[in-house]
Structure 1
Amino acid sequence: MRNWKFAMASTILGSALILGACSSTDTGTKTEETDSETAGEAVVEGMVSGDGSSTVAPIMEGVVEEYAGAQPDVQVTVGTSGTGGGFEKFIQGETDFSNASRPIKEEEVASLKEAGIDYTEFQLAYDGLSVVVSQENDWVENLTVEDLKKLWIEDGTTKKWSDINSEWPDEEVIFYAPGTDSGTYDYFNEVILEDEDLVSSATLSEDDNTLVQGIQADVNAVGFFGYAYYVANQDTLKVVSIDGIEPTKDTIESGGYSPLSRPLFIYANNTALTDNAAAYDFMMYTLENAGMMAEAVGYVALPQEEYDKALAKLEALTNNQ
């Protein structure tokens, strides 16, 4: 297996992942190898498509590349238009699965029901949404939740570091944040902004690499995104403790890093799972390897029993057909 933390330090993900063979246009069939050395082993052919969270993307990048080695005749395409953008495509029936850094919303559930799409939710890993500054920033080590509110909620003023602590520089804070289609934005809005407006001067992007680069380049910048993006760039970024707790594997897993610890999800179209052998096989591979890949890229694996339950839930879908 590749060293995923090393690979991510250079680049986590482009706008889409297209891995696997591109020759087949079949929606998914199982065949048997005729070669004498591999006779009797099930081989899957077909296409699988997904979209959604850029936070979940590092896990999926690793899974997709590893899966391409296991099933080279399956083409898996995964976009990163954000959790909300991914659900829009999922509702339109354009994708077989949707990655999400927040639970599905009631209005999205209603839209899926109206569209006649049944789905299954699977948890993939835990994340600690990380607040970061440049390594060159030598004054911020810790912020409270109240500090985050004061910084990030729009109040009509020009925010300065000295507003938080009079000993900090009298310099304007430069903000970077996930775009409004991002589940990370939604989660931050829920637990920090509490539906108040995000500071209007923030640079927004669904691409977390854009946020990373902006914060790296400005000593007065601050931003937030998934923990894996901090881990991959910790030589140039500094993570900020929240109420004295730094995001680490242990604090994320225990829930001690509160309120910014959260689960990560993948939502699968049930019809795709039952009618498309490639989609079912890829989802099974994802659940079997999500924990290992989550740890490899900097997230926190679920307890093994949770993955076992998810695999049983997946198997039950086809057994009920």
Structure 2
Amino acid sequence: MNSKKILTGLLAGILTLSFTACAPKKESNLAGIVKIDGSSTVYPITQAVAEEFNKENPDVSITVGISGTGGGFKKFVVGETDINDASRKVKQEELDKAKTNGIDMMELEVAYDGIAVVVNPENNWVDDITTDELKLIWDKDSKVVYWSDVRPEWPKEKIKLYGPGTDSGTFDYFTAEINGEEKRIRTDYTASEDDNVLVQGVEGDKFAMGFFGHSYYEENKDKLKALKINGIEATTENIKNGNYKPLSRPLFIYVNTKALERPELKTFVKFYLEKAKDLVEEVGYVPLDDAKYQEQLNKIK
């Protein structure tokens, strides 16, 4: 497991980490507080950036929460945080609330990610599943109870389902792409904003299925089996070039534009984009092209 992500399993809801305590001291004139919340999928990237930034700027206190994309936006649009990690684009109602509260935001793309559909490693009856079959299983009106309800040759054993909670951008994206409408999903599944809970659930049940960000599968691939979707494997290349349809997507941070006037925040965001390519890959995601990062940097300059 990547050492930068060990603490992730201890986090839930709005728990935050401060990365300043153990940072080695270096000369820096920057001081202040940077508050970040949002997506558990984007969290490992932002965590890694925060740790690296604090090595050079130990007097800037950075907190990173994992309330989920939607949960984070609830704080961001009222000015409680400076940055929201997001595994989907901001919704119109979130933009409207931000405008009402005088919050202007900047969208910055930071990486690509896929959504992995996973089963237990002892599952020896399915390696590939179609989007139609996923809808049959996960849709709000699903009648599927047993694996054999999907394909008769599959075992007559109950499917135990695990997935993100309703504040998750991964939840929004998956339900929209698979079930045709955001938040349209059956209710009898185990939900958590902490992806490690989902990993442990599928790992512990031979007849389980779950979905979450692909990086969490990569981190736990010795405990899980990822399914091909419509015959396409969720490889880095397939995610980057969009072949892994429809479950590949960009990841974002949203920055409070007014707050960018603070030197510590502007310096942090620039650092984020300058270091993102290496750190994104290090924590298991797919980096953008150099030109795309430069395009994001130009926005804040």
Q: What's the TM-score once normalised by structure 1's chain length? A: 0.88
Equivalence for 2:292: 306
Match of 1:232 among 213, 219, 222: 219
**Partner in structure 1 of residue 16 of structure 2:** 16
Runs of 4+ with deviation above 3 angstroms: 8-13
Could you report, residue by residue, the CA deviation over 1:83-109 in whole angstroms, capped at 9, with x for unpaired residues? 000000001110000000000001111
Q: Deviations over 1:38-85 (max 9, x none)?
A: 8xx753111100100001011111111111212111110010000000
Aligned equivalents of 2:175, 2:140: Cα separation in 1: 12
Tell me the CA shift for residue 11 of structure 1. Answer: 4.8
Aligned letter for 1:312?
N
Counterpart secondary structure, 2:122: coil
Match of 1:201 among 167, 171, 188: 188
Instruction: Tell me what 1:250 maps to.
Output: 237
List aligned pairs for 1:156-235, cutoff 5 A: 157-195=143-181, 197-235=184-222
Residue 65 (structure 2) pairs with residue 69 (structure 1) = no
Aligned pair partner of 2:84 in 98, 108, 133? 98
Aligned to 1:241: 228
- Distance in 1 (alpha carbons) for counterparts of 2:89 and 2:19: 27
Amino acid at match of 1:167: E
Q: What is the alpha-carbon distance in structure 2 between the residues aligned to residue 10 and residue 118 of structure 1?
A: 34
Would the alpha carbon gap of residues 156 and 187 (structure 1) be closer, same or farther in structure 2, given more than 3 Å must change? closer
Structure 1 18/45 Cα, relative in aligned 2: closer, same or farther at 3 Å? same
Aligned residues of 1:21 and 1:73 also touching (Cα < 8 A): no
Q: Which letter maps to 1:252?
A: I
Partners of 1:217 and 1:88 in 2: CA distance: 34
Q: Cα distance, 1:299 vs. partner?
A: 0.9
- Matched residues in 2 for 1:240 and 1:270: separation? 40
Note closer, same or farther for the CA distance 1:141–1:249 as it changes in structure 2 (3 Å cut). same
TM (norm. structure 2) is 0.93
> C-alpha distance in 1, partners of 2:170/2:196?
14
Match in the other structure for 1:319:
none
Q: Which residue of 2 aligns with 1:29?
A: none
Q: Unaligned 5+ residue runs, structure 2?
A: none
Please state if 1:267 is matched with 2:254.
yes
Q: Which residue in 2 is equivalent to 1:6?
A: 2
Kept in 2: contact 1:9–1:232 (CA 8 A): no
Whether the 8 Å contact between 1:21 and 1:74 is mirrored in structure 2 is no
Indicate whether 1:115 and 2:111 are aligned.
no
Q: CA deviation at 1:155?
A: 2.5
AA aligned opposite 1:16: T
**Structure 1 segments unaligned to the other structure (5+ residues):** 23-32, 316-321
**Count of residues in Structure 1 that have an aligned counterpart in Structure 2:** 294
Using the TM superposition, name which of 9-18 and 260-269 deviates more: 9-18
Query: Which protein is bigger by CA-based radius of gyration?
Result: 1
User: Where in structure 2 are the equivalents of 1:279-294 lying within 5 Å?
Assistant: 279-294=265-280
Distance of 1:11 and 1:256 partners within structure 2: 32
Greater CA deviation, 196-205 or 100-109?
196-205
Identity of aligned residues (%): 47
1:145 counterpart = 2:131? yes
